[in-house]
Chain A
């Protein structure tokens, strides 16, 4: 039934294409802005700059997209701004990170929730991984958990902050293994958390697969497990947590994509939802992303809506126990 409706909607969209064009007017007639709620140089910022680099092409939006960074408090600053102050005029877009903003909205104290935004398309999925320093005695997740069982609350491990993907992964690990560990949120994001692992300030850490892959190539860390349903192409030799006997799904995978504020005119949303995924599929974008070690995962607006709803449910359950 659902598919039928979706199919009908697509057909309708195709039939009424000309009508939409009228409502759209000359959109977009000036450059667009993409708000990134992390600082310049972070993984989200870096990927956003790559996936939007072809926005100005005629077959994409026909207008360039400028990145504006609004970093602070794990993304809360940017998303608060986006939910409350961004103009829903179709020229103000934002990058989302799942599960970050959903987890933060469940935790409370912010002015947004999944209902404040309209997703457009997803470009990437970066699973969390468990890393330890290259010299660490731990060689598998079992070693880590065994240590944690002997020293309850004594195993320190870093991550990018509270109520972000890394923290979700950490909570899932504690729950699945039934141990208490010391999660140390880092104020300098994923890079800071990785530094803490390499410098030996903490015994291990949860980090982005893309960054961990690079750090492993550089010989600085060992990657012990992937918090995802399947192994990743970048690290085919690293088993998932599930394979190692911990019942952990992909709730912590960091999905990145583009959204607009609620209230943006429907024709514009439809237009963006149709064009943006093709923009992500551009060959140059794909090759640059691959070169940078950033796993891509393109999803359409409908798929993203479904994924958001699913995450909302899982995270509510997971965080209820806190």
Chain B
């Protein structure tokens, strides 16, 4: 345990304290007051606990939590980007089934340890993607009749 988690703890709990205080500020200023009785109660407790946690972090007494390591973040970044593009943009713009196929395949290729050079690897990845999409399509489109934002096939 180096000093890294301590500074991280301060940032993390600081952010939460900021959220807590914002929520409290909104709860106590918004109208109608009747509808905000409960939020006021919660947000007061929320803010107090958040400040307490922040204080502990500043004093270096935050015990639990592992923090984030640089290596893990580097590993995570490409995946998180694929996820973000998929969920926030592609799913609606390209259609659910199309975007899921692409995202699934890309994610698989990024994180599959098998060597990229061989054709067999790619065939296997394509096969897994196709299999998964077949299951998803069968379950959600055929069995449950879920309407995706575009036509049912997309």
Contact = CB atoms under 8 A, between A and B. Distances in A.
B145 interface: yes
Nearest to A29: B151
A157 to B, nearest CB: 20
B18 interface: no
B147 interface: yes
A55 to B, nearest CB: 12
Contacts of B152: 30-31
Nearest to A65: B145
A312 B2 CA distance: 68
B151 A30 contact: yes
Nearest to B152: A30
Nearest to A31: B145
Interface of B: 145, 147, 151-152
Contacts of A68: 147
A138 B27 CA distance: 43
A117 to B, nearest CB: 19
A30 B150 CA distance: 12
Interface string A165-193: 00000000000000000000000000000
CB-CB nearest 10 A-B residue pairs: A66-B145, A33-B147, A30-B152, A31-B145, A30-B151, A66-B147, A68-B147, A31-B152, A31-B147, A64-B145
Contacts of A33: 147
Given A31-B145, A64-B145, 6 more contacts: A30-B151, A31-B147, A31-B152, A33-B147, A66-B145, A68-B147
B122 to A, nearest CB: 34
A239 B152 CA distance: 51
A31 B147 CA distance: 9
A30 B147 CA distance: 10
A91 B148 CA distance: 12
Contacts of B151: 30
Contacts of B147: 31, 33, 66, 68, 91
A64 B145 CA distance: 10
Nearest to A67: B145
Nearest to A91: B147
Interface in A88-106: 91
Interface in A19-43: 30-31, 33
